[in-house]
């Protein structure tokens, strides 16, 4: 049913992703993230992240060595730039986690990334893009997604 939907909801802008993944999985991951019109590119150690136009940093946690290693790599990529939302993909997760503030805590998603999960993640990041303070309330009054420890 959802596969028939195309384009972005009215008034929403694309989310650009910077992806860190193994070459074998990078192409599939890029395809999933760009199906709704967003741009995505793979990061290499020689690249400097252009944080101005990025909406999120997507890391393959299994490729990076786990959540702590993925977060350390995210800090290295962002260096002194803006604090981007971080999305970490892992095979062993039993549930997906969307934190109250994706600029402070990572979004944890199960691998492989489905079309529906990619779409929900994009919409979640767009909805939380204006919230820069951890205690700021959503403008529409909606409650944030629950945070569960991993």
| CB-based burial label for 60 (10 Å; 0-12, 13-18, 19+) | buried
Residue 150 pLDDT level (bands cut at 50, 70, 90): very low
Q: How far apart are CA 109 and CA 87, in angstroms?
A: 7
Cα 44 from Cα 109, distance rounded (Å): 22
With a CB cutoff of 8 Å and minimum separation 6, the contacts of 104 are 83, 134
Q: What tens digit of pLDDT does each residue of 36-54 get? A: 778 888 876 555 555 556 7
Q: What are the residues facing 18 on neighbouring strands? A: 41, 57
User: For the chain, what is the radius of gyration of the CA atoms?
Assistant: 15
From the candidate CATH numbers 3.40.190.10, 3.40.50.2000, 3.40.920.10, 3.40.50.2300, the one assigned to the domain spanning 14-127: 3.40.50.2300
pLDDT in tens, 92-119: 888 999 998 888 888 999 999 998 999 8
Q: Answer for the pair 86, 56: CB distance below 8 angstroms, yes or no.
A: yes
d(CA 130, CA 138): 9
pLDDT at 8 (0 to 100): 38
Q: Which two tokens stand for residue 27?
A: 């192409």
Domain boundaries, the chain: 14-127
Position 60 scores a pLDDT of: 92
């Amino acid at each position: 049913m959802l596969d028939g939907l195309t384009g972005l909801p009215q008034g929403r802008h694309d989310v650009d992703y910077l992806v860190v993944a193994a070459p074998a999985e990078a192409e599939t991951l890029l395809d999933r993230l760009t199906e709704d019109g967003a741009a995505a590119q793979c990061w290499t150690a020689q690249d400097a992240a252009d944080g101005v136009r990025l909406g999120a940093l997507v890391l393959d946690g299994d490729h990076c060595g786990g959540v702590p290693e993925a977060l350390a790599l995210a800090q290295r990529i962002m260096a002194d730039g803006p604090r981007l939302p971080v999305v970490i993909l892992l095979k062993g997760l039993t549930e997906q986690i969307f934190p109250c503030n994706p600029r402070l805590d990572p979004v944890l998603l199960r691998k492989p990334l489905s079309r529906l999960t990619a779409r929900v993640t994009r919409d979640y990041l767009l909805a939380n893009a204006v919230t820069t303070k951890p205690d700021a309330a959503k403008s529409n009054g909606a409650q944030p997604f629950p945070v569960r420890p991993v």
